[in-house]
Amino acid sequence: MLPGRPVGVLTGPNLAREILEGRSAATVIAATDPSAASALQGLLASERLRVYTNDDLVGCELGGALKNVIALAAGMAEGLDIGDNARAALITRGLAEIVRLGLAKGGRTETLMGLCGIGDLVLTCNAMQSRNFSLGVALGRGEALADILDARASVAEGVFSAAAVNQLARGLGIDMPICLAVDGILNHFADIDAAIEGLLSRPTDLETDFQG
């Protein structure tokens, strides 16, 4: 961060292609300086793009990063054809992991229940335009990670952030089994079928308990 320069993040359920096509969307700008966020809001807002502001920079940053890892898991579930019910369960419990880590780092629950959290998560875990979801689908269908990456010009951020997310979670003592499974599949030769089935067979607890 340069002295006197505000730091901000633009995030939310935004597929670039749809925005370029002029389709309706909503996004959020978070910044260390609220006046900077408001100024950017005025510059970017249009009839087709609703722009909200937020002062929870940490929550917005983590929501935007963590959903990519969960989207990889959701894509794998889709590629394995284990059903919409199971994929919905992975997405929902993935949100719990995002909230756990977000709160531990100083983010706010209401931020992660907004556009940068659940909004971005729902989109990224369901759209084939999503680089992370589509890569997960390819992995679930048996394609090798190296082959998928070689064939792509775009970057699926979750592939590179999964290990960092788990390192951060371990340091904070945060349980994130979905992110751990994705890291295992990508970086530690874990069997994809066993990893996903293991997630779906984990012991259950109080549904509203975000601790596990």
The CA-atom distances, in angstroms, between 71 and each of 55, 68, 137, 166 are 25, 5, 10, 15
Which residue among 25, 57, 67, 123 is the active-site one? 67
- DSSP 8-state code for residue 153: S
146 CB burial (10 A radius; 0-12, 13-18, 19+): exposed
105 is catalytic: no
Q: Which H or E run contains 92?
A: helix 84-104
Paired tokens of 82: 């284990």
Please give the positions annotated as active site. 67
